[in-house]
Structure 1
């Protein structure tokens, strides 16, 4: 069965997967991933670039001798712990703590001599600790403002705080896991990384809003027709949008994967990794959270509301009286079951 045919069957209710009914499983997976990411952020922790921590940086073109570059820096600045990385196919980058102007010039000369390149092929720059702290504060401020504005807009757009809270929880989930991957791999966190974080949060939010729009449409109809529970209506909404989410994610990942795996790993363009890893991991995690976290969490948050409970009780009563359950509703943790492809129960999908 092709994706188009599957999407049509899911949209019409001929096939259904019980996303909402299995929410405890999805929540467990999400909590474990976030907990592991939190531990990784403590140890080994994130590796911040010079823009955040301050220090001196040297770029050498015309040589990729990382050991030679390390030895040259240590000969001028005894006790220094230089961080040497390859840049592109014909260069290296060296980062150390802030040094004096005299040491900066001596280190440039030492690198040129040790790596056998002209002096003009060695560039240097210094970032003071106060400037690095300022960049850090602005990055954190940008994230806080993003979350505040998104919360307000979501609450106003959907006219309910529960959808805003569920969307924010999904965004925190995405950010935590992406940061955990950075800590695990050891990639540097730079301003470009922060841009990548904000980009994937926006992508994840867009995906969640599309699903929530369908949830609102289906649940409004359910309250009017009284033919399915809130959980069943929400589950149908996820089924109706899941193929679109998967297709969008795959299309978005293709260019990002080309940048990350071909541009960085194969061609050695290390400057691309700062943003490409955040986009790659964040896009994957964002697609997961929009399907398996946001809507199931919304159902859990609203399950105790009097109106939602009254609707569920009425649907249960109708089901016990032998009235047919709408196709594609899914169990949703409530009465009834939906048919999956081939006539199997959706709870077993």
Structure 2
């Protein structure tokens, strides 16, 4: 496959997805929805625990979600099982009157015998501004260290810049998906994002290693070396990602709610990381090399 010849198509595709995400964030912010759908770990919220006197099924979960949305206005309530028949309903912060109306509505609809909910309280935001800042600092410091390490390892700062750009690409893709589909942003997203920053660099380094090896073996231009190198590592990159995704997708399908919330950003991040290591990182290195050659030509003094 000719990766360099088609690099502009890959760049345009990534730019389009990221741009859609950024525009969605701006639209959501302007319409007072918030750039992201922040979960209660960020904003605080309310918890109502009820004995439903029956097991929580997907159908019951959907019915309860509709009731919660109608009464509280929360379009993404979290409904989880508590024991055999208990249900925990977590919403954005709701007034006492709204929580009482919620319980009374559910009690009447399902003919419950409980006179009062098992729990009814407000919860404060568990992810403070300090933790948010710490997560951002961890990403920035990690990216800087990766830039230094790869530049030192490959003795070429362009490898480091390309790898870092690919990482930023992966993070922006994850943010775009969360913004467009209004997926609740919570502590699981932060953990998943930090995990992906470390994971997605792996394939990129392997491809760069092969490029460095082939530069010493092949007497060809950069485009042919990159195409050959990526094709040589393509099967390995895809197989590694697929085997990882199989396990994470199973966790997402079979796991409890908290596990699903951690698995989902990993799925998006691994998919974006595989794409960037194949279609973005190496073409970016090519463009930086091309820019350097062009700069050398324009600054070279003319001889008479």
Q: TM-score, normalised by structure 2?
A: 0.77
**Alignment coverage as a number of residue pairs:** 273
- 3-state SS of the aligned residue for 1:188? coil
Residue 12 (structure 2) pairs with residue 28 (structure 1): yes
Whether the 8 Å CA contact 2:39–2:92 is kept in 1: the answer is no
Counterpart in the other structure of 1:54: 44
Confirm or deny: 8 A CA contact 1:98 1:128 kept in the other structure: no
8 Å contact from structure 2 (residues 167, 197) kept in 1: yes
Q: CA deviation at 1:57?
A: 3.5
Q: Is the Cα contact below 8 Å between 1:50 and 1:57 reproduced in 2? A: no
CA drift of 1:233 comes to 1.4
The aligned counterpart of 2:230 is: 238
Q: Is the 8 A contact 2:208 2:282 kept in 1?
A: yes
Q: 1:82 to 1:295 in 2, by over 3 A?
A: closer
Tell me if the contact between 2:44 and 2:92 (Cα under 8 Å) persists in the aligned partners: no
Relative to 1, partners in 2 of residues 1:27 and 1:109: Cα closer, same or farther, differing over 3 Å? Answer: closer
Segment of structure 1 superposing worse, 206-215 or 41-50: 41-50
Contact in 2 for aligned 1:98/1:126 (Cα 8 Å): no
What root-mean-square deviation, in Å, do the aligned CA atoms of Structure 1 and Structure 2 show? 3.2
Given that 1:170 and 1:289 are in contact with CA atoms closer than 8 Å, whether structure 2 keeps it comes out as yes
Q: CA deviation at 1:282?
A: 1.3
Task: State which of 74, 80, 83 in structure 2 corresponds to 1:87.
Answer: 80
- Judged with a 3 Å threshold, the aligned counterparts in structure 2 of structure 1 residues 108 and 98 are, in CA distance, closer, same or farther, namely closer
Residues 305 and 276 of structure 1, relative CA distance in 2, 3 Å threshold: same
Q: Which runs of 5+ in 2 are unaligned?
A: 29-34, 298-304
Secondary structure of the residue that 1:18 maps to in structure 2?
coil
Q: How does 1:250-329 map to 2 (within 5 A)?
A: 250-260=242-252, 262-263=253-254, 269-306=256-293
Distance verdict in 2 for CA 1:23–1:53, change over 3 Å:
same
How far is 1:39 from its partner?
1.6
C-alpha displacement of 1:140: 1.8
Deviations 1:233-272 (A, max 9, x none): 1221101100001101110111122222x237xxxx4333
Q: Which is further off, 153-162 or 58-67?
A: 58-67
Residues 23 and 296, structure 1, Cα contact 8 Å, conserved in 2:
yes
Q: State the match for 2:301 in structure 1.
A: none
Task: Give yes or no for contact 2:48–2:118 (8 Å, CA) kept in 1.
Answer: no
DSSP-derived class of the 1:48 partner: coil
